[in-house]
Structure 1
Amino acid sequence: MKAIMVMFDSLNREMLEPYGCEWIKTPNFDRLRQESVTFDSNYVASMPCMPARRDLHTGRYNFQHRSWGPIEPFDDSMPELLKNNGIYTHLTTDHKHYWEDGGATYHNRYSSFELHRGQEGDNWKVLPELIEATHQCLIGNSQRNYYDEVNRKFLDSEEKMPQAQTFKSGLDFIDANHKEDNWFLQIETFDPHEPFFSQEIYKKAFEHNYDGTLGDWPPYYPITNETSKDIEHMRYEYAALITMCDFYLGKVLDKMDEYNLWEDTLLIVNTDHGFLLGEHDWWSKSIMPVYEEIAHTPLFIYDPISKIKKERRHQLTQIIDLPVTLLDFFNIKKPKDMQGVSLLSTIANNSPTRKHVLFGYHNAHTNITDGEWVYMRAPREGTEFYEYTLMPTHMSSRFQPSEMINLTLQEPFKFTKNLPTMKIKANIGLTDPINFGSKLFNIKNDPKQQHEILDSSQETEMANAMIKLMKENDCPPERLTRFGFPQEGTISQSLIEKQRKEEVQVRIPEALKSKKWERGAVNIYCDIIRYLPEEHVSTVTNILISSVSNKELITVQEMFTWIDTVFPPEQSPMMKYIAVLSSRFH
C-alpha cells in the first residue's frame, strides 16, 4: 500500500468548483471530486502554518499549550512513526517556514526530504541591492520585501518557480517508485499563500484594468482606504495562483491514472487554513477572528480499500484526523496521545466522527463548532497565558533572554511523556483579541457570518462543550481562567450573561466610566497603554481625561488626537497603525 498527500497553504474552499465557486475554473479539483470523497465540514485546528503542521504530525490540538514552534521532544510524529514501522516517507516542499527556527525539526522526521527555495521573502538569493539595503538598515524596517524582489529575478520562467519544482520532484518520486510498496509521499507547496506570484499564462483568464498601488501581496490589515477595484484586483491575483495550483494537482492525478495507483494508493488533498480577501472588511489572517473563510477548509480523500468516489461526507473533520488516518491505512496503532480519528470508516460507512471541534490561535480566541453553530470565546481582561515548550523558538527567531528570564518548570502534562516543560509568559501580539469580544453565529442560516446572535442559552451550551474539549486536551489551568471558565464543573448561563455585560465596561479607566465610549475607542485605549511603561500609564490617562472632560461620547477620532498628544512624531505613525487595527471589533 502507498499514500500521497498533496498539501496547499491558504487554500480557500470557496474558490474551488467542488465547493460551489463559479468564476474560477478548477477542472482538476473537480476531477478530484469525481475520484474521491469530498468533506464538507472540515475545520482548521491549531493556527496558522507551523502550528497546523504540528497538528498534522501529532494528531492532537497544540494551540492551547504553545504558539508557533518546532516538533517537541515528547511529540509523536506521524511520518516518523511510519518510518520507524517500515514505511518510507518522503517530503518535497517549498514551504519556507520549514527551514526557519520555528520549523526546523519537522522535515527531519521523514526518511528523506527535498526543499525548494524562493517562496515569499525566503532568504535565498543575493544581489547588490540586497547588500546595499542591509548597509542602510532597511531590511525589516520598510514595507518593501527586498528578499522577495531579489528572488523573483531568478524565477523568470514557470519551471523555475518553487511550486513547479516541488511538484516535479514529487512526480519524479512517483515515476521512480510507483512499483515499490509501503511508502508515503507528501507534496507540499506554499501556494496559494501570499504573495500571489504567478506567470502570465495563469493571469490571462483574469485580465483586468487596474492602476492602483496593490501588487500581488495583500496587507495584514483591515480594509481601510482600499477600493472595490483593489479588492477585485487582489482576488484576480489569488485566482490566477489557484489555477496554477489546479494545473499541478492535475499532474498528480495524471500519474494516478498512468500507473493505476487508484488500486493501492491513498490520496489526500488538503490545506492548513483559508484566507480573507475583503470578506468581513479584512485582508489575510492572524489579526481578526477566525471566520469561516479561514477556518472552514477543503479536504478530499480517496481510499483504495473502499474505492468510494463521487460522494460527500458532512461529519466534522480536522487536520488532526489525517495522521491517524494514515497510520490506520498502514495498519499502525495510533499512539494514546493522538486525539484525531481515522476517517477510513467515515469514508467507507459514513460513520460519525465527533460532535464538536476546537480551533484557534494560541494568543487569541478559542473557537468551537458543531457544524451549525460557531462560538468564538474571547479572553478575559487582565489574564495571563504561557508558552509550554522545551524548544523555545518563534517563527524565525529564538526566544530572547528577556522572555525567558522568569521561566519556571511546569509539571508534566499527560502527553509530554513524563517530561516537565518550560513555562514562559506569552505575548498577546500586535493587538489584543479581547477587542473583538465573544461571538456566536449560526452558520447554517448565516454561512457568511454577517449577523452575530445574542443567545445566552446557546452560548452556554457551546461554552460547556468547549470546556469539555479543553480539559480533554489537558489544558493548562490558567487557560480556563483566561477564558472565564471555572476550574471545576461547568459554566452557568447567569455567569455567561454577566461576563457579556462586563466585556467592554471592565476595560474603561475608572475615572471615565461615567462617559459613553465608542467600542473602537475602548479598544484603542487598552491596546495603546500596553505599549507604555507602567509608570507612564497614569500620566497619559490623565491627559485623556483632561482632553475629553467636556465630551459626552469618547470617539475613535478623539483617541487618534490623544495619540498625537502623548507620542513623539517618530512614534505616532506606528501607534496610529495599531489604533486602526484596534478600532475594529468585527
Structure 2
Amino acid sequence: MMKFKDVLFCTTAFVPVLSGAKELPNIIYIVTDQQTASAMSCVGNTDVHTPNIDRLAQAGVLFTNAYCSAPLSGPSRASMFTGHTSHEIGLARNNVPMPDSLRATTLGVLMQHAGYECAYAGKWHVHTASIPDREFGFSVLHPHTDHGLAEASVAFLEREHTRPFFLVVGFDNPHNICEYARGQNLPYGNLPELSQDEWPGLPLNFSRHPYDADVITYEQSLNYSTYPTRHYSPDDWRRYRSLYFRLVEKVDAEIGKIVDIIDRRNLWKNTVIIFTSDHGDGVGAHQWNQKSALYEEVVNIPLIVTLPGKKNAGKEMPQLVNAGVDFFASVCDWADIPLPGGLYGVSFKSLVESADPEQAHQPYVVIETTFDKGITRGWALRTPRYKYVLYDKGNYREQLYNMEDDRGEMRNLALEKNYREVLQQHRAYLGEWMRRHRVAQIRPEVHLIPE
C-alpha cells in the first residue's frame, strides 16, 4: 500500500508530519443511479447480464441488506458526502444547495486533509449536476455525463500517483429509464428493442396488496410526469422492465472499462473499491416506477466492497448497512480520519475485513423519504428480520413485513394481533432514531408514530 505520514491540520494548507508513518489504501467509489439491488446477474437475476459488476462481486464482499439513506438522488448523495441524514440538514429534496456550515467537513475535504488526492468524475447532484472544480475537496475529471466518463476515469488511473487517491466515478444510468417512461430520447443514445417474447415476466409482487399505504396512489395522481405508468398494461410493464435491464447492462459495460484498468495496473493490491447506487427503481413491483416510495426494490441497493489483495473475495454478508451515513463513516475509517462530532454512521470496514456473517453490527437502519415533487414524508426501519414502514398520512400508513418470508412485501403484519409486540418494538426503534436525528413532529401533542 502507499505510505503517507500523519498529518497536521491547519486552515490554509496540508502539512505532513514526519513521525508515525501509516499505510493508507487507495479508494475507488463507483456509484450508479437508480439501480435496485436485484439488477445484477451475480445475485441470480437471469433477466440481466452484468459480467463486470459480477467481477467486482467475485473479487469482493457483497452485502445483501444494504439500503440507501433516502430514495432520491440529491438527498441520498448529500448523505454520502456529508455523513448526515439529508432531512436533518435541510437537503430532503433535489436541487437544494448545501449549507455553508457543512462545506468544510464534507468527505472530499476531510480526505484531502488526510493526504489523499481526491478526484471526481460524473454525476454529483449535491445540488448541481456536476461538482464545481476544486470545491468540496475534489478536482473534477469529467462533468455529469456518461459519455467519456469511464475513459476519463481510466486516464486518471493510468497516471502515477505519489499519494493515495480517492476517486469517485458517478454514472447516470440506469436513470435513463425516467426518460424512457416519459417517451423522451435517452441522453446517452437509445437502445435496441428486444422482441416481445424476450421481455422479462412480471415480478411476483406486481399487484399491490389491499393494505398498502393509500398515499402512494395519491402521490402518483399528483405527478404525471414522474409517474406516467399509472395506466400501463402488463405488457407495457414487461417492456419497461426489459429496457431497464438493458440500461443496467449499458452501464455495466462502462464499469468494465474501469475494472479492466484495475486489472492491467494490478490496483487490486492496494485499493479499496466500493460499488453501489444512490437508490433503486420500482421496476414494476406493486406497479411502481421511479423512486421515493419505500418499497424494497426502491430502497434496497447493491453494495460490493473489494479489499486490497482481494481479501475475502466472493463472500456475502447479511448485516444491515446504510449506504449513505455508513459509507461516509467507512471511508473515514479506511483513511484513519476520526468521525466528526454529531455523526452516527457505522463503519462497515471491520465487517468486510472479517467477512463473518455472524458478526454483530447494528440493530437497525432507517431510510427516510419526501416524495419527489410531492407532499408525503415517510420512514422505513429495517431490522434483521422485519421491515417497518411509516408514512405521515393516509390509510394503512403503517406497514410491517417479515423480510425472511415476504421480501416482496405482500402481507402487512401491522394489522395482525399476533405481531403487536413486534410492531411496538419497531415503533420504539423509530422513535429513538427520530429523537437522535431531530425529526420534527406534527405538533407536541400529535406524534408521527402511532400510539
1:190 Cα deviation (Å)? 1.3
Equivalent runs, 1:25-64 vs 2, <5 Å? 25-64=49-88
- The one-letter code of the counterpart of 1:447 is R
Equivalent runs, 1:164-563 vs 2, <5 Å? 164-177=147-160, 179-193=161-175, 194-196=178-180, 197=186, 199=189, 203=192, 206-208=194-196, 220-221=226-227, 223-286=229-292, 289-304=293-308, 307-319=311-323, 320-349=325-354, 350=356, 351-362=359-370, 363-379=376-392, 433-434=393-394, 437-453=397-413, 454=415, 455-476=419-440, 478=442, 483-485=447-449, 496=451
Partners in 1 of 2:279 and 2:443 — Cα distance? 24
Bigger CA drift: 472-481 or 191-200? 472-481
Larger radius of gyration: 1
3-state SS of 1:24 partner: coil
- More contact order relative to length (CA 8 Å, sep ≥ 6): 2
Q: Alpha carbons of 1:24 and 1:477: their partners in 2 closer, same or farther (altered >3 Å)? A: closer
Q: Kindly provide the CA deviation profile for residues 174-233 of structure 1, in whole angstroms up to 9, marking residues without a partner as x.
A: 1124x4331100000111113253656x636x34489xxxxxxx9533754311221111
- The one-letter code of the counterpart of 2:297 is E
Partners in 2 of 1:93 and 1:255 — Cα distance? 18
- The one-letter code of the counterpart of 1:62 is S
8 Å contact kept, 1:3–1:267: yes
User: What are the ranges of 5 or more consecutive residues in structure 2 without an aligned counterpart?
Assistant: 1-24, 181-185, 199-223, 371-375
- The one-letter code of the counterpart of 1:203 is P
Which of 94, 98, 116 matches 1:71? 98
Task: Identify the residue that residue 87 of structure 1 maps to in structure 2.
Answer: 116
TM-score (norm 1): 0.60
CA-based RMSD of the aligned residues comes to: 2.6
Q: Alpha carbons of 1:167 and 1:267: their partners in 2 closer, same or farther (altered >3 Å)? A: same
- The one-letter code of the counterpart of 1:467 is G
Partners in 2 of 1:26 and 1:352 — Cα distance? 31
8 Å contact kept, 1:321–1:343: yes
Partners in 1 of 2:229 and 2:81 — Cα distance? 35
1:95 Cα deviation (Å)? 5.2
3-state SS of 1:339 partner: coil
Partners in 2 of 1:46 and 1:479 — Cα distance? 24
Partners in 2 of 1:107 and 1:456 — Cα distance? 53
Partners in 1 of 2:312 and 2:163 — Cα distance? 22
3-state SS of 2:34 partner: coil
1:450 Cα deviation (Å)? 1.2
8 Å contact kept, 1:6–1:268: yes
Q: Alpha carbons of 1:460 and 1:316: their partners in 2 closer, same or farther (altered >3 Å)? A: same
- The one-letter code of the counterpart of 1:113 is V
1:94 Cα deviation (Å)? 4.0
Q: Alpha carbons of 1:372 and 1:479: their partners in 2 closer, same or farther (altered >3 Å)? A: farther
TM-score (norm 2): 0.77
Q: Kindly provide the CA deviation profile for residues 52-79 of structure 1, in whole angstroms up to 9, marking residues without a partner as x.
A: 1111012232225532223222323111
Task: Identify the residue that residue 4 of structure 2 maps to in structure 1.
Answer: none
Which of 15, 22, 25 matches 2:39? 15
Q: Alpha carbons of 1:105 and 1:436: their partners in 2 closer, same or farther (altered >3 Å)? A: farther
8 Å contact kept, 2:73–2:125: no
Partners in 2 of 1:64 and 1:109 — Cα distance? 20
Q: Alpha carbons of 1:458 and 1:260: their partners in 2 closer, same or farther (altered >3 Å)? A: same
1:10 Cα deviation (Å)? 0.2
Q: Alpha carbons of 1:481 and 1:252: their partners in 2 closer, same or farther (altered >3 Å)? A: farther
- The one-letter code of the counterpart of 1:463 is R
8 Å contact kept, 1:268–1:299: yes
1:337 Cα deviation (Å)? 2.1
User: What are the ranges of 5 or more consecutive residues in structure 1 without an aligned counterpart?
Assistant: 118-161, 211-217, 380-432, 486-494, 497-586
Q: Is 2:112 the counterpart of 1:108?
A: no
8 Å contact kept, 2:59–2:310: no
- The one-letter code of the counterpart of 1:347 is V
3-state SS of 1:294 partner: helix
Q: Alpha carbons of 1:236 and 1:106: their partners in 2 closer, same or farther (altered >3 Å)? A: farther
Partners in 1 of 2:394 and 2:40 — Cα distance? 33
Q: Kindly provide the CA deviation profile for residues 112-162 of structure 1, in whole angstroms up to 9, marking residues without a partner as x.
A: 114435xxxxxxxxxxxxxxxxxxxxxxxxxxxxxxxxxxxxxxxxxxxx3
Q: Kindly provide the CA deviation profile for residues 13-65 of structure 1, in whole angstroms up to 9, marking residues without a partner as x.
A: 21211222012111112211110100011011133111111110122322255
- The one-letter code of the counterpart of 1:299 is L
